[in-house]
Structure 1
Amino acid sequence: MKKQKKYYTFFDALIINIFTFFAVLLLWAIIDSVDLFNPLDDFFDNFDYTDLYYSELRHNDMVPDTDIFIVNIGHLSRAELANQILTLQKFQPKVIGIDAVFAEKRGMEDFLLKQALHSNNNIVMGGFGVFDEEDEDQAIGIIKSDPFFGDLPVGHLEFIADPTIVREFDKFIKFNDTIINAFSLEIMSKYDEEVFLDFAKRKTKTELINYRAGYHPYIIFDYEEVNDTNSNLEIIKDKIVLMGYVRMFEGAATDTTDSHFTPLKRSEYGYADTKGIEIHAHILSMMLAKNYIYKLPNWINYLIALVICQLFLMWLVYYYVHGAKLFDILSKPIQFLLIILVLWATFMIFAKFGMKIDMIPSVLTLVLCIEVLYLYEETLELFKIDSYLTQKFNYTKDERIKNFRRIIRFEFIRDRFKRSRKRI
């Protein structure tokens, strides 16, 4: 008696899984290369599930960070800015970071500004990296304040927009033998060296920004409020003060100067919602709280997608054989619920552990895997191949030989397009 072969769901599921990944790659290549799909391509480029976490799911009742304060400098002249710095120094902040570059000399008021910048050894200036046109990641220099203002600590002010939303920043930029820390890191090196070293030891050059929640995450003083008689400024003693552009003057409408799109999405009308100086504040808050985001490598994201899809496919293959009558009814709702469950689990992991998992590969494979299963099963039937999916057909040797002849003669194609004739 001929021994009956055993078939396993794992192998059929694995083959379908592999073909599903190829289907995802093909679909992605088409979307990326065909101009017709540019809107869809832009959507995927800008989409990040953590944006929903920041804009909708985080608590908005968090109190402002009392270690970091922002001073709006508007469009002050250099002489007025010098007066602001001298006034702030009277309230003894530990560090003052100035989000401005004085690349050119402008006359007598420069002497006042220079004097203010050197009134205490707690000033950090901003600078902008100069990058190679052919390789945007390669710095070739830095634009900073004129040497007239002295050799002050400098941090680079750039963020990384991917492609329009700011989610990351470079901890440092390097050109020749020169390393320029990020503006926020240079400030932290003066404020708390232990926190600075802890953050600097992290192996990644690029860091994700863990934005702080709340409608008003930071206390902002307009330049009209910065004077000797304002006792509210006593709160900045031994704290970090960031001087940068927020608005033209106290009570002015929001404008687009130095505005960036962020995951916070505070604008109801879809405009850039966060000033550069505020983003630096968010980075500093993240470092002080050691509330870092851990981004999984791409290969782990793909492995997670492979495992999740494999488990789902093993159930699908089994149910396709043993529950065929209800397969079409139940498979799609269960597929939808599984996608929701995967996204929910991802949110929870990000919220509890600060671990960012890219679930787009998992979601795409889950979306396509059922269609690939149908195609795979049709292919098995066409070629009369034994497997777990086709074990009930019990193909004979003669059937396989006959079918093989039909295939090499392309009869199975001709049969589909063969005209039916009938006598009348």
Structure 2
Amino acid sequence: MQESNKKRYFYNFFMRNRNLFKEAFLCMIFAFTVLCIVSWIGISLNFFSPFKNAFKDFSYLDMYYAEKLETNDPNINENIILVNVDRRNRKEIAGMLQKIQESQPKVIGVDVIFKDLEDPVWDRFLSEFLKSENIVAAYVLNDDKRIISNKNILEEGVALGYSNFNFDDESAVIRNFRGVYKKNDTILEAFGTAVSKKFMAQDWDIGMESYLSIDRPINYSGNRDFFLVLEYDEIMNGEFSPLIKDKIILVGYLGNPIQHRFDLEDKHFTPMNPRFVGKSPPDTFGLVIHANIVQMIIEGNFIKVVPNWIRILLTIVLTYMALCYFIWLNKRQLASYILRLNIVQLFFIVFFVWVALLLFRQKLLFKTASITAVMVFSIGLIGFYKKLAHYLYKRFKWEGFFFHD
């Protein structure tokens, strides 16, 4: 009997409000159509590109990294050691590699490209230390062409990895990473992937290649201060030799030891920039980004991404519910409509930012900006839809919520 009363209640509720539900659905279709047209115009016209890119380079989730770097303890990473080549010549770089090899590291990643030949003696000397089994060398992938070290310095058979982080040319901020690049029958590994694979050896999961074949968010562990950075003199003096054994050594450019903060060479914008609004200047050396990627891979500490279908479903459901409420409010309580509209819109924005940050702390990336934008945009079109409904009512005797009780 009680179950029957519930069914009757919901049936009566639906019948009383069927025009409202129909009106909200049609308004949502109208809003989505307008949104598609506006989006198409924005994509087609280059005029909007600077605005699109500006918003693409901004994410309120960057606040998480700003807070993380301020509150985290200053413990140094023990798995990965960075070696700064600064502006050393090839003789000095070869000497550093020799000293590093004597300390028996497990992997040495060399993020330096020796494109042209210089002194034959020292080029050959350098080449000898780039042959080792534990070496991974970097190259740049540019329009499917490799910019790689000269073949007289880097011989065939050496493990290679492209130093590109991703292939998104429109975004200046390095948030994502593609560990495996596939095109036709060609499969190439990123520098961070190749280093991690060599370090993990038998523990490497073959399924990781498929997982890394699309862009994945980088889970940044820390900036330059998070890693032990060794300079030329420290390497040659052997001060840190005991620490190098069985570790990952990444060799590359990290600027002048004293003034590196003002050095812009091979620096990139990242979410770790303390100025997450109006990022300037670039904040992180490429070698440090590679170190974060390697740390993420060897620990399996990835950021999961909420699937697009869930975001789309939530966008449709929440937009429809919001339209039901505001269409009802627009007709019944017009005096408080604008005030409530602004309050609810502000609530949704703050709420979704809070949810996104909360989930991001749990290593779950939930991009809520699109949900909020679609909802706010759709609600803002209720007035235009009402005028369209009024026109249809006058011309075709349209029966809807606005013009039928």
TM-score greater than 0.5 by the shorter chain? yes
Matches within 5 A, 1:287-326: 287-326=297-336
Aligned-partner Cα distance in 2 for 1:334–1:39: 30
Question: Are 1:143 and 2:148 counterparts?
Answer: yes
| TM-score, normalization by structure 1 | 0.80
Give the number of aligned pairs: 378
Separation (CA, whole Å) in 2 of partners of 1:122 and 1:93: 8
Counterpart residue number, 2:216: 207
Q: What do residues 31-80 of structure 1 show as CA deviations (whole Å, max 9, x unaligned)?
A: 44556545423322323333333234665424232111101001111111
Greater Cα offset, 381-390 or 276-285 = 381-390
Cα distance in structure 2, aligned partners of 1:110 and 1:292: 39
Q: 1:108 to 1:249 in 2, by over 3 A?
A: farther
C-alpha separation in 2, matches of 1:121 and 1:203: 24
Task: Say which one has the larger Rg.
Answer: 1
Q: Distance in 2 between matches of 1:100 and 1:147?
A: 15
Quote the offset at 1:13 in angstroms.
Answer: 1.6
Tell me: CA distance 1:324–1:18, structure 2 relative to 1, closer, same or farther (3 Å). same
Counterpart in the other structure of 2:128: 115
Q: Which residue in 1 is equivalent to 2:158?
A: 152
Are residue 218 (structure 1) and residue 227 (structure 2) matched? yes
Aligned pair 1:344/2:357, yes or no?
A: no
User: CA shift at 1:87, angstroms?
Assistant: 1.1
Q: What is the Cα deviation at residue 249 of structure 1?
A: 4.6
Structure 1 contact 302–361 (Cα < 8 Å) conserved: no
Superposition pairs of residues 231-310 of structure 1, within 5 angstroms: 232-251=240-259, 254-266=262-274, 270-310=280-320
> Residues of 2 paired with 1:94 and 1:359: CA distance?
42
- Please give the alpha-carbon distance, in whole angstroms, between the structure 1 residues aligned to 2:369 and 2:349: 10
**Equivalent residue, structure 2, for 1:400:** none
CA distance in 1, matches of 2:327, 2:339: 15
Conservation of the 8 A alpha-carbon contact between 1:72 and 1:245: yes
Contact 1:124–1:153 (8 Å) recurs in 2: yes
Give the Cα separation in 2 of the matches to 1:79 and 1:130.
29
What is the alpha-carbon distance in structure 2 between the residues aligned to residue 285 and residue 257 of structure 1?
23
Whether contact under 8 Å (1:101, 1:127) holds in the other structure is yes
Match of 1:182 in 2: 190
Asked if 1:124 corresponds to 2:144, the answer is no
Residues 145, 173 of structure 1: CA spacing in aligned structure 2 closer, same or farther, 3 A cutoff? Answer: farther
SS in 2 for 1:155: strand
Match of 1:76 among 85, 88, 91: 88
- The 5 A counterparts of 1:22-61 are 22-34=33-45, 37-56=48-67, 60-61=71-72
- Residue 101 (1) aligns with residue 113 (2): yes
- Cα deviation code 1:105-125 (max 9, x no counterpart): 32110121122234x421111
SS of match in other structure, 2:175: strand
2:254–2:260 CA contact under 8 A, matched in 1: no
Report the CA distance between 1:176 and its aligned residue.
6.9
Residue 67 of structure 1, aligned match among 79, 94, 112: 79
Structure 2: which amino acid aligns with 1:197? I
1:260-305 deviation per Cα after TM superposition (whole angstroms, max 9, x unaligned)? 1111114697111111111100101111221212334544433322
Q: 1:11 to 1:96 in 2, by over 3 A?
A: same
Matching residue's letter, 2:286: G
Answer yes or no: is 1:168 the counterpart of 2:176: yes
Report the Cα offset of residue 205 of structure 1: 2.8
Q: Which residue matches 2:12? A: none
Q: Normalized against structure 2, the TM-score is what? A: 0.84
Which residue identity does 1:16 align to in structure 2?
C
Measured in 2, the distance between the counterparts of 1:110 and 1:338 equals 61
- Quote the offset at 1:148 in angstroms: 4.6
Q: Distance in 2 between matches of 1:148 and 1:380?
A: 73
More deviation, 181-190/36-45: 36-45
Question: 1:338-377: per-residue Cα shift (whole Å, max 9, x none)?
Answer: 121122112222221x332332321222222232112222
Q: Which moved more, 1:32-41 or 1:329-338?
A: 32-41
Whichever residue aligns with residue 364 of structure 1, its letter is A
Residue identity matched to 2:253: Y
**SS of residue in 1 equivalent to 2:113:** coil
Q: Match of 1:61, as an amino acid?
A: N
| Separation in 1, partners of 2:141, 2:110 | 16
Q: What's the counterpart of residue 404 of structure 1?
A: none
Q: 2:373 aligns with which of 356, 364, 372?
A: 364
- Note if contact 1:129-1:173 (Cα within 8 Å) is conserved in structure 2: no
Distance, in Å, in 1 between the alignment partners of 2:310 and 2:207 is 25
**CA-CA distance at 1:174 after TM superposition:** 4.5
SS of aligned partner of 1:379: helix
Residue identity matched to 2:133: N
Tell me, in whole angstroms, the C-alpha distance in 1 between the residues paired with 2:388 and 2:163.
Answer: 57
Q: Distance in 2 between matches of 1:297 and 1:256?
A: 36
- Aligned residue for 1:282, secondary structure, equals helix
The equivalent of 1:333 in structure 2 is 343
